[in-house]
Amino acid sequence: MSVNARQETLNFQAEVKQLLHLVVHSLYSNKEIFLRELISNASDASDKLRFEALSDPALYEKDSELKIQVSFDEKAGTITVSDNGIGMNRDEVIANLGTIAKSGTREFLANLTGDQKKDAHLIGQFGVGFYSAFIVADKVTVITRRAGLTPEHGVQWESNGAGEYTISNVEKKSRGTDVILHVKPDQKDFLNDWRLRSIIMKYSDHINIPIMMPKYDPDKKEEKSSEWEKVNRAVALWTLPKNTIKDEQYKELYKHISHDFEDPLLWSHNQAEGSNLDYISLLYIPSHAPFDLWQREHQRGLKLYVQRVFIMDQVEQFLPFYLRFVRGIVDTTALPLNISREILQDNPVIPKLRAALIKRTLDMLEKLAKDDAQKYQTFWNQFGTVMKEGPAEDFVNRERLAKLLRFATTATNMPEQTVSLEDYVKRMKPEQKKIYFITADSFNAAKSSPHLEIFRKNNIEVLLLSDRIDEWLVGHLPEFAGKPLHSIAKGDVDLNDIESKKDQEEQKQKEEKFKTEFDAVIKQVKTILGDKVKDVRLSHRLTLSPSCLVADENDMGAQLQRLLKAAGQAVAEVKPIFELNPEHDLVKKLQLEKDQNQFQEWTYLLFEQALLAEGGQLQDPAAFVQRVNRLLLEK
According to the model, what pLDDT value does residue 180 have? 98
How do residues 419-472 score in pLDDT, each as one tens digit?
999 999 999 998 899 999 999 989 999 999 999 999 999 999 999 999 989 988
DSSP state of 551: B
Tell me the C-alpha distance between 559 and 17, whole Å. Answer: 43
- The string over 154-190, giving b where at least 16 C-beta atoms fall within 10 Å of a residue's C-beta and e elsewhere, is bbbbbbebeeebebbeeebeebbbbbbbbbbeebeeb
Q: Give the CATH fold of the 239-368 domain.
A: Ribosomal Protein S5; domain 2 (3.30.230)
Q: Is the pLDDT of residue 496 over 60?
A: yes
Q: Order of strands, edge to edge, in the sheet holding 327-332?
A: 266-272, 279-285, 327-332, 302-306, 309-315
More confident residue, 101 or 346: 346
Range picked from 338-347, 386-395, 557-566 for highest mean pLDDT:
386-395
What's residue 295's pLDDT? Answer: 72
What lies within 8 Å, CB to CB, of 432 at 6+ separation is 460, 497, 498
| Domain 373-487 = CATH 3.40.50.11260 | yes
Lowest mean pLDDT among 14-28, 58-72, 204-218, 598-612: 14-28
Q: Are strands 535-538 and 547-550 parallel, antiparallel or unpaired?
A: unpaired
pLDDT in the model for residue 401: 97
Report pLDDT for 422: 97
For 457-490, write each residue's pLDDT tens digit. Answer: 999 999 999 998 998 899 999 999 999 999 999 8
Q: What number of residues does the chain have?
A: 635
pLDDT 10s digits, 520-574: 999 999 999 999 999 999 998 999 999 999 988 877 766 777 777 666 777 777 8
The letter for the amino acid at 623 is: A
Coil, strand or helix: which one is 633? coil
Mean pLDDT (the chain, rounded)? 87
DSSP 390-435: HHHH-GGGHHHHHHH--BEETTT-SSS--B-HHHHHHHS-TT---E
What CATH number does the domain located at 505-551+565-632 have? Answer: 1.20.120.790
Confidence band for 103, pLDDT divided at 50, 70 and 90: very low
CA dihedral angle for residue 474, residue 479, residue 481, residue 487, rounded to 10 degrees: 70
Are 466 and 417 in contact by the 8 Å Cβ rule? The answer is: no
Quote the DSSP letter at residue 247: H
Is residue 549 within 8 Å of 535, Cβ to Cβ? no
Give φ, ψ of 171 to 5 degrees: -90, 130
Q: Pick the most confident of 88-102, 134-148, 194-208, 334-348.
A: 134-148
Q: Which of 89-103, 121-135, 161-175, 499-513 has the highest mean pLDDT?
A: 161-175
CB 22 within 8 A of CB 121: no
pLDDT tens digits, one per residue of 131-152: 889 889 999 999 999 999 999 9
Q: What DSSP letter does each residue of 457-507 carry, written as one string? A: HTT--EEEE-STTHHHHHHS--EETTEEEEETTBS----TTTS-HHHHHHH
pLDDT at 74 over 90: yes
SS3 145: strand
Q: Is the model's pLDDT at 337 over the cut of 80? A: no
Cβ(528)–Cβ(580) under 8 Å? no
pLDDT score recorded for residue 222 = 58
Q: Which residues contact 14 (CB under 8 A, 6 or more apart)?
A: none
- 122, pLDDT greater than 70: no
What pLDDT shows up at residue 1?
Answer: 32
Mean pLDDT, to the nearest integer, of 30-45? 87
Report the C-alpha gap between 51 and 288 in whole angstroms.
31
pTM reported for the whole predicted model? 0.77
Question: Strand, coil or helix: what is 109?
Answer: helix
Rounded to an integer, what distance in angstroms lies between the CA atom of residue 495 and that of residue 498?
Answer: 5
Segments making up each domain of the chain, as ranges? 7-235, 239-368, 373-487, 505-551+565-632
Q: Report the pLDDT averaged over residues 319-344.
A: 86
Q: How far apart are alpha carbons 449 and 547 in whole angstroms? A: 11
Domain 7-235 part of CATH 3.90.1150.10: no
Which range, of 36-50, 102-116, 162-176, 368-382, averages the lowest pLDDT?
102-116
**Matching CATH topology for 373-487 and 505-551+565-632?**
no
Q: Is residue 109 pLDDT above 60, yes or no?
A: no
For residue 2, is pLDDT > 80? Answer: no
